[in-house]
Structure 1
Amino acid sequence: MDLDFRNNQFELFQDWTKNDTKKKFVTELEKQAAEEKKNLPIILSTGDLRERWQMKNRQSVHNYTKRNDFPKPVLEFSNGRTKLYLESEVSIFEINHPWILTPESRKNYADWILKNVINE
């Protein structure tokens, strides 16, 4: 069905009663929305990353998201204050930086850096 909003303006938005045009449009839009939902990617906020990586403060997540090799946000809103990242790109980052995943792995990495890089 072709959703012609322009030619159905009155029936859709100025007629306050339920009518056949509204029913048809709503049915078609519900089908379209269901189809679109099937194709949505998984996106993560910085809050999701903080939980995923078991970090206690937001600054730690912020430090990682500002790195040059961290994926760029796929969506920003609230005037850029809220950034959303594609989960698959975050997974690539995690594969390349496995120490980020848990507090224990971050501590082990810091100990390794101290032993092998700083004290050498």
Structure 2
Amino acid sequence: MPKIPKLLTKSDMATRWGLARNAIKNREDRHDDFPPVIQRVDNGRTPLYLESDVIKYEQKHGLARND
């Protein structure tokens, strides 16, 4: 069986970085290098992001993990 990569939501990122969800949306709107959406669930309402992309982004921007 293939291994499924770990996926994160914006809420996961907010918890991970100790930020409010609206701060995550602001980062998405303002940073061209914000992790790309790789899938949407919940009838298209919830974007999912690869954890590996999130790790690259947080390292580049010096975001501390709180999880």
The two structures, once aligned, show a CA RMSD in angstroms of: 1.6
The answer to which structure, 1 or 2, has the higher relative contact order (CA under 8 A, 6+ apart) is: 2
> What is the CA-CA distance between 1:81 and the residue it aligns to?
2.1
Aligned length: 64
Greater share of strand: 2
**1:20 aligns to what?**
none
- Ranges in structure 2 where 5+ consecutive residues have no aligned partner: none
- Ranges in structure 1 where 5+ consecutive residues have no aligned partner: 1-34, 103-120
**1:44 aligns to what?**
8
TM-score w.r.t. length of structure 1: 0.48
Kindly indicate whether residue 23 of structure 2 is the aligned counterpart of residue 60 of structure 1: yes
The residue identity in structure 2 corresponding to 1:78 is D
Deviations 1:17-38 (A, max 9, x none): xxxxxxxxxxxxxxxxxx24xx
Identity %: 34
> What is the CA-CA distance between 1:61 and the residue it aligns to?
1.1
Q: Which runs of 4+ in 1 moved over 6 A?
A: none
Q: Secondary structure at the match of 1:40?
A: coil
- Work out which of the two has the higher radius of gyration on C-alpha atoms and give 1 or 2: 1
Deviations 1:11-65 (A, max 9, x none): xxxxxxxxxxxxxxxxxxxxxxxx24xx01011011110110011x210011122
The residue identity in structure 1 corresponding to 2:35 is P
The residue identity in structure 2 corresponding to 1:61 is I
How far apart are the structure 2 equivalents of 1:80 and 1:64? 20
